[in-house]
Amino acid sequence: MILPNPKDPTLTRSVQGTDQHGAVHDLRVVEERPLTIYLNSQEIVTAMTIGDHPEYLAIGFLRNQAMLRDDDEITCVDYDADLQVVVVRTSRKTSYEEKMRKKTRTSGCAVGTVFGDMMEGLETLTLPNAELRSSWLYSLSRQINTMPSLYLEAGAIHGTVLCQQDKPLIYMEDVGRHNAVDKVAGWMFQTGSTAADKILYTTGRLTSEMVIKTANMGIPVLASRSGFTAWGVEIAQQLNMTLIGRMRGKRFLCLSGQERLVLDADPETIPDETRASRSSGAK
């Protein structure tokens, strides 16, 4: 399993501050640095990111923007740490000048950007009829809330976890939840991972952008500890995506795709969250 490395010295830095009593404190804060993404010879975007897994971030961003196709062959991915540039090269010639003229600034942290029509291609998308058991949700919540994370080390960060049934497979974090999702998408594209039997868990809000990215990845279930936006729910209902929010302790709410949900666990047998679990998930 790929997990965040809270002790990686390149992801946080030490700063000194003074609290409300005048006491001096040393603490770790998350790094935020620009990463410019190229597709072949075309500059696409500069993203603000913590700096880990730049190749996965670049590939996932391009995939979720429909600039990489399912059948595209990636010939190489070049990352220059000094220049903070990553170049994704494909055997297919690409040009997205027209698509990039239309930009939408999203509600994501660190300001996400969507190129072209956000809803483009969704009208023909059919998500798999996968099963989702409530026992899996409870198990995943317990596991994810106790995993090592940069959030516990320094805060100011979001996490996204790709899961299969009750098993977390890959955990990515970033200052923007959209970046964390793109890293997961990049890993899936590079490894050829199937999406039909997967669950995507995010610590952020269930917004339109999150629903659209999850749908473009082909994942039928999106879950979060956080709440919903109206447009996020509306799009999920149109796509028949199972949308689970406010997933805390023994409680959760399903606002879309309820037919996939199998209630196989008695909530009264689920223990309440500990204080540590509540803190680790309050992102």
Query: Residues 127-138: what's their mean pLDDT?
Result: 96
How far, in Å, CA of 12 to CA of 6, rounded?
Answer: 8
How far, in Å, CA of 3 to CA of 170, rounded?
Answer: 6
CA atoms within 13 A on the CB side of 184: 35
- pLDDT at position 271 is 86
User: Which residue type occupies 4?
Assistant: P
- pLDDT at position 113 is 66
Query: Residues 179-195: what's their mean pLDDT?
Result: 97
- pLDDT at position 279 is 44
Q: Is the pLDDT of residue 277 over 90?
A: no
Q: Is the pLDDT of residue 283 over 60?
A: no
Q: What is the DSSP string of 55-89?
A: HHHHHHHHHHTT-S-TTPPEEEEEEETTTTEEEEE
Query: Residues 243-253: what's their mean pLDDT?
Result: 95
Contact (Cβ atoms closer than 8 angstroms) between residue 209 and residue 188? no
Question: Measuring CA to CA, how many Å separate 181 from each of 16, 84, 160?
Answer: 32, 20, 6
pLDDT in tens, 108-132: 554 556 665 667 778 889 999 999 9
DSSP 8-state code for residue 259 = G
Cα angle: 168, vertex 169, 172; to 5 degrees: 95
pLDDT in tens, 162-175: 999 999 999 999 99
- pLDDT at position 85 is 98
Q: Is the pLDDT of residue 74 over 90?
A: yes
Mean pLDDT estimate for the chain: 90
* Full-model pTM: 0.90
DSSP 8-state code for residue 185 = H
pLDDT in tens, 253-267: 999 999 999 999 999
Give the residue from 245, 244, 282 showing the smallest Cα distance to 262.
Answer: 244
Query: Residues 29-42: what's their mean pLDDT?
Result: 95
Where is pLDDT greater, at 156 or 6?
A: 6
- pLDDT at position 165 is 98
- pLDDT at position 43 is 95
DSSP E strand stretches across the chain: 12-18, 24-30, 33-39, 42-49, 74-80, 85-90, 103-105, 113-115, 132-133, 158-164, 167-174, 198-202, 221-224, 242-248, 251-256, 261-262
